Structure formats: structure tokens, C-alpha cells
Amino acid sequence: MRGDLPVGLAAASGDPPVEWRASSGAVPYPVAVEVMTTRATAIAAGRARELVWLLEHPALYSAGTSARAQDLIEPRFPVFTTGRGGQFTYHGPGQRVAYVMLDLKRRTPDVRRLVATLEEWIIRTLRTFGVNSERREDRVGVWVPLGTEGREDKIAAIGIRVRRFVTLHGISLNVDPDLEHFKGIVPCGVSNPRYGTTSLAKLGCSVTIREVDVALRREFELLFGKTESVPGDPPELGSTIAAAAR
């Protein structure tokens, strides 16, 4: 466990709260990346507030900057190459994705601390539902020990990019996705048979996406600072879709 890393990435006193938005429909992956890029540029220039954007994607695989071709076993769904760190992962219905756009110039420009804090955010959220999970020294993400022969399953993935001191991408938490779809890839490059993939539903936790969102927001504020709920999609989403239609 990486217990030695400090956690917490609060903004400076007096900074505006982080904008907190949740999209109701499935957002195509390329559209989400374009929205993040546009928003991060505006944050870096001081024209927009920081943002946490909660959403789901249609079923897809994304390949991070360390992805290896041999880890794509069966391309059941579209595959998107992306600028986040990490390797292959699956996104789809039943998985809560939280894209986190924070200005590290106003916080702590320490990427290791950022990753540790994102992991802690997930761990505390899962604890709300009675799930004990842990971080690992050699594997980014959040893992649930199964207590038998060293087996443990991954329940949440983390992949980030930092551009002009603003973060992009974020976390994905398995609430109730179809876990069979992870078999089309080597998730995050971890092929050891002792390590699998799990979800809140598989662990016997019958919770809704909405309940997960409430817990995520509460624990986020304890680690990162105040948020302000803003209904609807990020405004950049509408302009991105309109531009693609022209």
C-alpha cells in the first residue's frame, strides 16, 4: 500500500467552489475529450471555473499512453487512443466516470499527491457502502482484497493528464457494469490471474448511480474543497456537438 503518500488537495482560501455537473445521457468518448480539452484551456487562462463532470459512456475501450497492442485481446467495442496515462480500460453503462479538471497552480502541483488523493477519494466513497478497498504500490487504482490466496479485484481505475497545470480525465468506478466486457482487454496491463475486476453490484451492494454521486461529492469536498452543483451538461458539450454536426 502507498500509505506514505500525503492526501488532500484543497484550493486556496477564497477560491470559487468547483463546478459540479452530472450528464444524464451517455456521452461519446471523443466528445467528452473535446469538452475536457476546451474547459481545461479556459481554466488555465482564468476564463472558467474548475469542474468535476460525472457521466457514463457507451461501451468502448480506451488506450492510454502506455497501452500495449497485445493487451487488446478482442476489440468488441470501438477503441479510442487517448492522452491520459495508463493502458487499456473499459468504459460503459453502469460505470460512473468522474472527469476532474482542477488547476494545480492554485492547489499543490504534485502529480503523485493528486493520484493518491483521487485514490483516497474512491476509498472513502466505497467505505460509505461498507466496502473496504486499498491502494497498491505497484498498481494504480483501487483494489478490493478477497482474503483468499492473495486474490484481489480492481473496482476503480484512475487515468490522468496534466496540461498547463490543469488536470484532465480522472476516475471510473464500477457500480454495475457488465464485467464480461473487461475480458476483451488486459485491464490496465495487469495480467496476473490473482487480480480480477469487480463492481459494487458483484460485491452485493445494491446502490444507484445517484447514491454513488452523493457519496462522491461529500468525500470530494473533504479532500479537495467546496463544490457548487450546477444542473445540466457543461456548456462546452453543446458547442462541441453543434460543431461536429456542421
Decide the pairing of beta strands 51-56 and 95-101. antiparallel
Alpha carbons 75 and 119: distance in angstroms, whole number: 28
Q: Which three cell numbers stand for residue 147?
A: 482474503
CA distance 167 to 158: 12
Active-site residue among 188, 190, 200, 237? 188
All three cell numbers of 177 = 457494469
Positive or negative torsion for Cα 43, 48, 54, 55: negative
Q: Is 205 a catalytic residue?
A: no
H-state helical runs in the chain: 29-44, 111-128, 209-224, 235-245
What ranges make up the beta strands (E) of the chain? 18-26, 51-56, 60-63, 79-81, 88-91, 95-101, 142-145, 152-163, 166-174, 195-197, 227-229
Catalytic site positions:
188
